[in-house]
Amino acid sequence: MAKRRKPKAKPRVPTRRPVLVARHRAASRAGEALDLARCERFLLHEARLLDDGNFDDWLALFTPDAWYWVPSEPDQDNPHDTVSLIYDDRRLLETRVRRLASPRIYSQEPRSRTSRIVSNVSIEDSGNSACTVRSKFLMIEYRRDSQRLFAGTAFHRLVQADGGILIASKRVNLVNCDEPLDGIVVPF
Protein backbone atom coordinates (compact mmCIF):
# COMPACT_ATOMS: atom_id res chain seq x y z
CA MET A 1 0.00 0.00 0.00
CA ALA A 2 1.46 3.35 -1.05
CA LYS A 3 1.74 6.19 1.43
CA ARG A 4 -0.01 9.44 0.68
CA ARG A 5 2.19 12.45 0.29
CA LYS A 6 1.35 15.61 2.11
CA PRO A 7 0.48 18.46 -0.23
CA LYS A 8 3.21 21.06 -0.52
CA ALA A 9 2.59 24.23 1.40
CA LYS A 10 1.85 27.20 -0.79
CA PRO A 11 4.40 29.99 -0.56
CA ARG A 12 3.23 32.89 1.52
CA VAL A 13 2.37 35.97 -0.50
CA PRO A 14 3.34 39.25 1.21
CA THR A 15 0.46 41.61 1.85
CA ARG A 16 0.31 45.38 2.37
CA ARG A 17 -2.75 45.17 4.62
CA PRO A 18 -2.19 46.36 8.17
CA VAL A 19 -1.45 43.47 10.46
CA LEU A 20 -2.86 43.77 13.95
CA VAL A 21 -0.40 42.41 16.48
CA ALA A 22 -1.70 40.52 19.48
CA ARG A 23 -1.03 42.13 22.87
CA HIS A 24 1.53 39.50 23.92
CA ARG A 25 3.51 40.02 20.72
CA ALA A 26 3.19 43.81 20.82
CA ALA A 27 5.49 44.03 23.81
CA SER A 28 8.37 42.66 21.77
CA ARG A 29 8.08 45.61 19.40
CA ALA A 30 8.72 48.15 22.13
CA GLY A 31 12.40 48.40 21.25
CA GLU A 32 11.76 48.83 17.53
CA ALA A 33 12.21 52.26 16.03
CA LEU A 34 9.30 54.08 14.46
CA ASP A 35 10.27 53.43 10.87
CA LEU A 36 8.30 54.35 7.77
CA ALA A 37 6.71 50.92 7.34
CA ARG A 38 5.39 50.81 10.94
CA CYS A 39 4.08 54.38 10.73
CA GLU A 40 2.34 53.72 7.42
CA ARG A 41 0.68 50.56 8.81
CA PHE A 42 -0.48 52.58 11.80
CA LEU A 43 -2.02 55.32 9.62
CA LEU A 44 -3.80 52.72 7.48
CA HIS A 45 -5.13 51.08 10.66
CA GLU A 46 -6.41 54.46 11.89
CA ALA A 47 -8.17 55.10 8.56
CA ARG A 48 -9.79 51.68 8.68
CA LEU A 49 -11.10 52.26 12.21
CA LEU A 50 -12.66 55.55 11.10
CA ASP A 51 -14.19 54.07 7.93
CA ASP A 52 -15.63 51.16 9.93
CA GLY A 53 -17.11 53.57 12.49
CA ASN A 54 -15.04 52.16 15.37
CA PHE A 55 -14.70 55.54 17.02
CA ASP A 56 -14.01 54.17 20.53
CA ASP A 57 -11.08 52.16 19.15
CA TRP A 58 -9.94 55.27 17.25
CA LEU A 59 -10.06 57.32 20.46
CA ALA A 60 -7.93 54.67 22.18
CA LEU A 61 -5.13 55.49 19.71
CA PHE A 62 -4.64 58.92 21.35
CA THR A 63 -2.48 59.71 24.36
CA PRO A 64 -4.18 61.21 27.46
CA ASP A 65 -2.78 64.68 26.60
CA ALA A 66 -3.37 64.48 22.84
CA TRP A 67 -4.95 67.14 20.65
CA TYR A 68 -6.65 67.06 17.23
CA TRP A 69 -6.61 70.22 15.10
CA VAL A 70 -8.13 71.22 11.76
CA PRO A 71 -7.07 74.84 10.96
CA SER A 72 -9.44 77.21 9.17
CA GLU A 73 -6.69 79.06 7.30
CA PRO A 74 -3.87 77.81 5.09
CA ASP A 75 -0.52 77.94 6.93
CA GLN A 76 -2.21 78.80 10.23
CA ASP A 77 0.51 78.90 12.92
CA ASN A 78 -1.50 77.94 15.99
CA PRO A 79 -5.07 77.26 17.05
CA HIS A 80 -5.25 80.18 19.49
CA ASP A 81 -4.95 83.24 17.21
CA THR A 82 -7.77 82.33 14.82
CA VAL A 83 -10.87 80.22 15.09
CA SER A 84 -10.30 76.65 13.87
CA LEU A 85 -12.63 74.22 12.15
CA ILE A 86 -11.81 71.71 14.91
CA TYR A 87 -9.53 72.02 17.90
CA ASP A 88 -10.11 69.23 20.41
CA ASP A 89 -8.06 68.18 23.39
CA ARG A 90 -8.54 64.65 24.73
CA ARG A 91 -11.65 65.62 26.73
CA LEU A 92 -13.34 67.14 23.67
CA LEU A 93 -12.33 64.13 21.56
CA GLU A 94 -14.11 61.92 24.09
CA THR A 95 -17.21 64.14 23.81
CA ARG A 96 -17.04 63.96 20.00
CA VAL A 97 -16.87 60.15 20.11
CA ARG A 98 -19.78 59.95 22.61
CA ARG A 99 -21.89 62.09 20.27
CA LEU A 100 -21.00 59.91 17.29
CA ALA A 101 -22.04 56.82 19.28
CA SER A 102 -25.38 58.31 20.26
CA PRO A 103 -28.44 57.14 18.31
CA ARG A 104 -29.89 60.66 18.72
CA ILE A 105 -27.24 62.55 16.76
CA TYR A 106 -29.36 64.31 14.17
CA SER A 107 -26.40 65.35 12.02
CA GLN A 108 -25.69 61.64 11.47
CA GLU A 109 -29.19 60.46 10.66
CA PRO A 110 -28.66 58.50 8.46
CA ARG A 111 -25.05 57.69 9.31
CA SER A 112 -22.30 58.85 6.96
CA ARG A 113 -20.45 56.24 4.98
CA THR A 114 -16.83 57.12 4.40
CA SER A 115 -13.85 55.89 2.47
CA ARG A 116 -10.33 57.14 3.16
CA ILE A 117 -7.18 56.88 1.11
CA VAL A 118 -3.84 57.54 2.81
CA SER A 119 -0.72 58.00 0.68
CA ASN A 120 2.65 59.74 0.34
CA VAL A 121 3.60 58.86 3.90
CA SER A 122 6.93 60.32 5.04
CA ILE A 123 8.69 60.87 8.33
CA GLU A 124 9.41 64.56 8.90
CA ASP A 125 11.47 64.22 12.07
CA SER A 126 12.12 61.41 14.48
CA GLY A 127 13.69 60.60 17.80
CA ASN A 128 14.14 57.44 19.81
CA SER A 129 10.51 56.90 20.68
CA ALA A 130 8.59 59.57 18.71
CA CYS A 131 8.29 60.98 15.22
CA THR A 132 6.23 63.37 13.11
CA VAL A 133 4.63 61.68 10.12
CA ARG A 134 3.29 63.58 7.13
CA SER A 135 0.74 62.02 4.78
CA LYS A 136 -1.74 62.97 2.10
CA PHE A 137 -5.33 61.86 2.47
CA LEU A 138 -8.58 61.76 0.57
CA MET A 139 -11.87 61.19 2.39
CA ILE A 140 -15.18 60.64 0.65
CA GLU A 141 -18.28 61.06 2.79
CA TYR A 142 -21.68 59.88 1.52
CA ARG A 143 -24.89 60.79 3.32
CA ARG A 144 -28.45 61.66 2.29
CA ASP A 145 -27.87 61.17 -1.43
CA SER A 146 -24.95 63.56 -1.34
CA GLN A 147 -21.24 62.96 -1.60
CA ARG A 148 -18.56 65.25 -0.19
CA LEU A 149 -14.87 65.10 -0.89
CA PHE A 150 -12.17 66.21 1.55
CA ALA A 151 -8.47 66.20 0.77
CA GLY A 152 -5.36 67.51 2.42
CA THR A 153 -2.23 66.84 4.41
CA ALA A 154 -2.16 65.23 7.85
CA PHE A 155 0.62 65.57 10.40
CA HIS A 156 0.64 62.93 13.14
CA ARG A 157 2.97 63.12 16.13
CA LEU A 158 3.38 59.45 16.97
CA VAL A 159 4.89 58.11 20.18
CA GLN A 160 5.72 54.63 21.36
CA ALA A 161 3.95 53.54 24.53
CA ASP A 162 3.40 50.12 26.09
CA GLY A 163 4.80 48.37 23.03
CA GLY A 164 2.46 50.14 20.61
CA ILE A 165 2.06 53.43 18.83
CA LEU A 166 -0.15 56.28 20.04
CA ILE A 167 -1.08 59.67 18.59
CA ALA A 168 0.18 62.62 20.64
CA SER A 169 -1.23 65.15 18.17
CA LYS A 170 -2.92 65.21 14.79
CA ARG A 171 -3.12 68.25 12.52
CA VAL A 172 -5.26 68.07 9.38
CA ASN A 173 -4.67 70.76 6.74
CA LEU A 174 -7.65 70.66 4.39
CA VAL A 175 -7.03 71.90 0.85
CA ASN A 176 -10.19 74.03 1.03
CA CYS A 177 -10.04 74.94 4.74
CA ASP A 178 -10.88 78.61 4.08
CA GLU A 179 -14.03 77.87 2.05
CA PRO A 180 -17.52 77.67 3.58
CA LEU A 181 -18.01 74.08 4.75
CA ASP A 182 -21.20 72.46 5.97
CA GLY A 183 -21.03 70.87 9.40
CA ILE A 184 -18.07 68.54 9.82
CA VAL A 185 -19.04 65.70 12.11
CA VAL A 186 -16.97 62.70 11.08
CA PRO A 187 -13.25 63.01 11.95
CA PHE A 188 -10.63 63.01 9.21
Quote the CA–CA distance of 188 and 186 in Å, as a whole number: 7
Q: What is the per-residue pLDDT for 3?
A: 55
Give pTM, 2 decimals.
Answer: 0.79
End-to-end C-alpha distance for the chain, whole angstroms: 65
Highest CATH level, class, for 31-174: alpha beta
Checking DSSP bridges between strand 62-70 and strand 164-174, what pairing results, if any? Answer: parallel
What pLDDT band is residue 106 in, cutting at 50, 70 and 90?
low
Which of 132-141's residues contact partners 24+ apart within 8 Å by CB, and which partners?
132/156, 132/157, 132/158, 133/39, 133/43, 133/158, 135/43, 137/47, 137/172, 137/188, 139/114, 139/115, 139/188, 140/114, 140/115, 140/116, 141/112, 141/113, 141/114, 141/186
pLDDT in tens, 158-187: 999 888 999 999 999 999 999 998 888 889
CA angle, 118 then 120 then 121, to 5°:
80
Give domain limits for the chain: 31-174
Highest mean pLDDT among 25-29, 30-34, 40-44, 142-146: 40-44
Question: What is the reported pLDDT for 125?
Answer: 92
